[in-house]
Amino acid sequence: MSKVVKANYTAEAVAGFTHRTAMEEAARCLLCYDAPCSKGCPAGTDPAKFIRSIRFRNVKGAAETIRENNVLGGTCARVCPYDRLCEEACSRCGIDKPIEIGKLQRYAIEQEEVFGMKTLNAPEKKVGNVACVGAGPASLACAAELAKAGYKVTVIEKEAKAGGVLTYGIVPSRLPQAVVDHDIAQVEGLGVEFKFNTKSTADDLKDYDAVFIGAGLWKANLPQIEGIDLDGVYAAVDFLKEARTNGEKFAPGKKVLVVGGGDVTVDCAVTAKLLGAEDVKIVYRRTLEEAPGNMSEFHYALSLGIGITTGMAPAAVKGNGKVEAVEFAGFRDEAAKLTLSADTIVFATGQNAEDMNALADVNLTAKGTIDAAEDGTTNVENVFAAGDIVNGGKTVVEAVAAGKEAAASMIAYLEKKGVK
């Protein structure tokens, strides 16, 4: 019988490297001339360079490389899907196993914090007036690049804290809030100003030289099935936000079902389990091999005693005012039927965009996301957009990459307009 791991909501699930183990791991690097790992990072964090620095005991140099290329280096060290990016590209894959790049990045940033290293600098004199709407990964990355280029940047956030999905979405056992706060402190250290509890309108933004929209996807996307309005039905974004806001005071219910197959699904299931739910199950309509979520996260969920059922899609939620059971039908086998008792069901089936035309007269896609080019430009000359509000929701590191690219376009635009 497999062992069920006991854990708590705020304790980090995976331990990092010690100084000795970090040096041992860095010593495995082949010091490739044209390093494939660096090509595999969407944000351009340059693993080859920072691993070399760690190998030769220059930990501050490693932290500087990470921060200069990815201001959210601590966060990405925890949540980035390394096994599908830089680690998959590592040359050691053909010999034994890839370098644990994520854990080495985490080690460098942890040392940065422990020793109070200053790894980023920006001009004291700021020019222009730029707004970043939303304080999620894309906006934070964009704001950092603009600040380093010498622009005055204000991040406008409707919530009480910065971070977006990092603060209000990802389970703290995977991404501790202290890590997010330390990354945000790097952005603040560049001179970026933050306005919290502020919902922007087009009128509020009209006086800025340029505007970046990185508002994310926060509108629930629930399936239109019977019983969807019963008490105990949650959208993933609302479930995770309530848990992150209230912590161990939040009661998820005793029997919890989570529908979906991505990392958010696992975050919801793990959150429910760590906050006291006795019976937690993930139900996904396809096979586990087809699931978009990170396989290591599914393994962690299984280690906590969370069950996983595949091939079934929700057909109806049953109950008298409150959820009592959920009926499922086979996704590919129409004859298959399944009924599971529950007092809470969480739908981790994606989120939708809020009305972005309330911020600017930008073109929208059929899904309500902003129709922006890869470089972040939109049909409105001084309005740029990137991240989930454009691509519909991808990884944190891809949001960072998109935010950086949009910042480059904004800098080019501002220079062309003479704002420099």
Q: What is the pLDDT of residue 1?
A: 39
CATH topology classification for 19-114:
Fumarate Reductase Iron-sulfur Protein; Chain B, domain 2 (1.10.1060)
The pLDDT of 57-78, averaged and rounded, is 98
Does domain 220-350 sit in CATH 3.60.21.10? no
CATH class of 127-217+353-416: alpha beta
The pLDDT of 267-272, averaged and rounded, is 97
Q: What is the pLDDT of residue 6?
A: 60
Q: Are 214 and 387 a contacting pair, CB within 8 Å? A: yes
Q: Which of 11-15, 17-21, 72-76, 251-255 has the lowest mean pLDDT?
A: 11-15
Domains 127-217+353-416 and 220-350 share a fold: yes
Q: Are 345 and 259 a contacting pair, CB within 8 Å? A: yes
Query: What SS3 class is residue 153?
Result: strand
- In tens, the pLDDT along 335-392 reads 999 999 999 999 999 899 999 999 999 999 999 999 999 999 999 999 999 999 999 9
Q: What is the pLDDT of residue 334?
A: 87
- In tens, the pLDDT along 82-137 reads 989 999 999 999 899 999 999 999 999 999 999 999 999 999 889 999 999 999 99
What is the CB-side half-sphere exposure of residue 287 using CA atoms within 13 A?
3
- Is residue 294 very low, low, confident or very high in pLDDT (cuts 50, 70, 90)? confident
Query: What SS3 class is residue 137?
Result: helix
* DSSP code, position 383: E
**Tokens 């109950």, located at residue:** 319
Q: What is the pLDDT of residue 5?
A: 62
pTM of the entire structure? Answer: 0.94
Average pLDDT, the chain: 95
- Is residue 287 very low, low, confident or very high in pLDDT (cuts 50, 70, 90)? very high
The tokens of 393 are what? 């929701």
Q: Are 411 and 209 a contacting pair, CB within 8 Å? A: no
Q: Are 47 and 105 a contacting pair, CB within 8 Å? A: yes
Q: What is the pLDDT of residue 215?
A: 95
Q: Which residues pair with 194 in a beta bridge?
A: 155
Alpha-carbon span 16 to 18, nearest angstrom: 7
> Nearest CA to 103 among 167, 16, 178, 177?
16
Residue 2 has pLDDT above 60, yes or no: no
- In tens, the pLDDT along 146-185 reads 999 999 999 999 999 999 999 999 999 999 999 999 999 9
**Domain ranges (residues) in the chain:** 19-114, 127-217+353-416, 220-350
- Is residue 43 very low, low, confident or very high in pLDDT (cuts 50, 70, 90)? very high
Residue 301 has pLDDT above 60, yes or no: yes
